[in-house]
Amino acid sequence: MPKDLFAILAASRPPALFFPGLLLFHTFPLHFPITLHMDAGFGRFSKESRLNLNGNVAWFLMEIISPITLLLTLNLTTHRALSPENKILATMYTIHYLHRAVVSPLLLSPQRSPQHITVTIASILFNLFNGSMVACGLAYFPTYISVHETRFWLGVVGWAIGFAGNIYHDEVLNDLRRPAGQRLVSSLSKEEEEGDKAAGNGRYLIPRAGLFKYISFPNYLCEWFEWTCFALISSPIPFIPVPTLQSIRLSPRLALWIARLGYWPPVLIVPEWLFVVNEVAAMVPRAIRAQGWYRETFGERFPRDRKIVIPGVF
């Protein structure tokens, strides 16, 4: 890391709980080896349970937490004026989650499968951390790219392309649950639909439009691209220096508890990049297991050369 940028970051003074919270947020990807061997209780893996919630309502409840947390943190706890660059980034974040929380589940999506309450609670917890951490990152740490630079707007365009791709491919999936005459962005031939229904017990169809020709989860890939562009605009350098534990004004009890852990890192991943890391860690296990489900459910009908999430690679 260049010394001048390191000095700028080190001079920033976020709230006392920011660094302990960010360190705790680093533990979220540790679920990867566990979720790689289990199916989360929603979507195609939903099972009957007394603890299931309405899928559309549960999706709204867990996703709306993210923009609310971001905006509340920015307005009630940081007490700092955002730079023009970070105002744009905060707007981009809010637009994404208003679509995911309101437009998609409540206005566009057909009836979703029931969602287990543990999935909803886990997602709410993630969004509470993510919204507050990203808000502090935007409020207390500078962007290195100005709105007057072409690369800033190239990043915004990249984010918009990823956002649009994510929406489009989500709607391709939604179209599979819509009657043939009500599909919004894609269609299936009569042979494809009848053959898929016969193989999928009358409930499931194989998505084929857009990047689904090459991979099973283009909506994941587009979302990763979207937030990578966001992180590149916000912080091209993915690491942040951490002040000493003694220099942070924590309560004595919390400081003692952290000291007993015997570990306080010199650097951490900035919230915007940690968001990308957490998304990949959460989505890759589900994509791998769902690819197996596709092959098991549809057999020879499922394209054998279709990769999971990166065309031609994985």
Which tens digits make up the pLDDT trace of 197-223? Answer: 888 777 789 999 999 999 999 999 999
- Considering the domain architecture, whether residues 220 and 311 belong to the same structural domain is answered as yes
Q: Is residue 159 part of a domain?
A: no
- Considering the domain architecture, whether residues 177 and 256 belong to the same structural domain is answered as no
Q: Is residue 132 part of a domain?
A: yes
Residue 286 has pLDDT above 80, yes or no: yes
Q: What is the average per-residue pLDDT within 98-108?
A: 95
Structural domain boundaries, residue 179:
168-235+271-314
Q: What is the average per-residue pLDDT within 125-144?
A: 91
Percent of the chain residues past pLDDT 70, beyond the cut: 95
- Considering the domain architecture, whether residues 57 and 76 belong to the same structural domain is answered as yes
Q: Is residue 153 part of a domain?
A: no
Question: Residues 6 or more apart from 58 whose CB is under 8 A from it?
Answer: 42, 115, 117, 119, 120
- Considering the domain architecture, whether residues 253 and 312 belong to the same structural domain is answered as no
Residue 11 has pLDDT above 60, yes or no: no
- Considering the domain architecture, whether residues 281 and 209 belong to the same structural domain is answered as yes
* pTM score, whole prediction: 0.91
- Considering the domain architecture, whether residues 259 and 287 belong to the same structural domain is answered as no
Asked which of 77-81, 126-130, 180-184, 278-282 is least confident by mean pLDDT, the reply is 77-81
What is the rounded average pLDDT for all residues in the chain?
89
What digits encode the pLDDT tens for the residues 16-25?
Answer: 889 999 999 9
Confidence at residue 78, expressed as pLDDT on a 0 to 100 scale: 61
Domain count, the chain: 3
- Considering the domain architecture, whether residues 136 and 254 belong to the same structural domain is answered as no
Q: Is residue 162 part of a domain?
A: no
- Considering the domain architecture, whether residues 260 and 276 belong to the same structural domain is answered as no
Residue 1 has pLDDT above 80, yes or no: no
- Considering the domain architecture, whether residues 259 and 231 belong to the same structural domain is answered as no
pLDDT band of 10, cuts 50, 70, 90: low
Q: Is residue 25 part of a domain?
A: no
Q: What is the DSSP string of 2-38?
A: -HHHHHHHHH----TTHHHHHHHHTTGGGGHHHHTTS
- Considering the domain architecture, whether residues 311 and 209 belong to the same structural domain is answered as yes
- Considering the domain architecture, whether residues 314 and 172 belong to the same structural domain is answered as yes
Q: Is residue 12 part of a domain?
A: no
- Considering the domain architecture, whether residues 257 and 305 belong to the same structural domain is answered as no
